[in-house]
Amino acid sequence: MNLLIDIGNSSIKLAKSAGTDLCEEVIQSQISTDFLSIYLSTGLKVERAIVADSGKVPDFLKAFLEEKQIQLHVISPQWKLPFSIHYETPETLGKDRLANVAGALALYPGKNCLIIDAGTAVTYEYLIEGNYLGGAISPGLKTRFKALADQTDKLPLLEASDDFIFPGNSTRNSILSGVILGLVHELNGHIDSFLSQYPNGSILLSGGDSKFLAKRINSHIFAHPNLVMIGLNHLLNSNFRSN
């Protein structure tokens, strides 16, 4: 059995997998050895783990997995990937970005895909004829709200909500309108541009804010909140054999 770990900017996601099937997915603000011991105590024995990290893999996690005799693999652009990378600085690519592209290719082989991951940052990935062309990165919803509060003296820190009026008739409604509709227009603009070039392409949406944003997107999308995990599992299975 595989252990899949996605260490993001604001949360840590874990899942187990047997073959291609994901199971027991959890989302934590942080993890500890006690939590991991309990999490791994149920189900089949975990033989190997894969990590997509936004920074450095914690030393305690490495030590814990080594103690449990679980092979640790950290996703890398040097692995055997099911797509070609056309990116000037592959060493700077976010591991979650690689996993998203691998997940899209596993789910939609042969399709041209625009993969959108809406979290702390919003990433756009272009997978065209088996080639990863790169994409774009912009601030996510929470980051935009926080930037307004941090960089001004009087604007409050708000959270995403469906309860707002546009045009904004108050500071609250104006902030919500500006942040939410601004990101929605950005999303729809990227999608329209992609579909103008690849009319039969697929749009995949993942990330923590995907459910909130999905209902505001003009085009048909495929929502895959577990896309990173699907990609991690696919890469682990294709690069390393189980014991």
Q: Dig out the tokens for 148 from the structure.
A: 């307004």
Distance CA 54, CA 141 (A): 18
Which SS3 state, helix, strand or coil, does residue 232 take? helix
Catalytic residue among 53, 96, 117, 209: 96
Contact of 132 with 231, CB cutoff 8 Å = no
In whole angstroms, give the CA distance from residue 190 to residue 118.
13
What is the separation of C-alpha 60 from the centre of its chain, rounded to a whole number of angstroms? 24
Torsion of CA 79, 80, 84, 87, to 10 degrees: 10
Decide if 96 is catalytic: yes
Question: How many CB atoms are located within 10 Å of the residue 147 CB?
Answer: 13
CA dihedral 45, 79, 235, 115 (to 10 degrees): 140
Give the Cα-Cα-Cα angle 31, 35, 40 (nearest 5 degrees). 115
Catalytic residues: 96
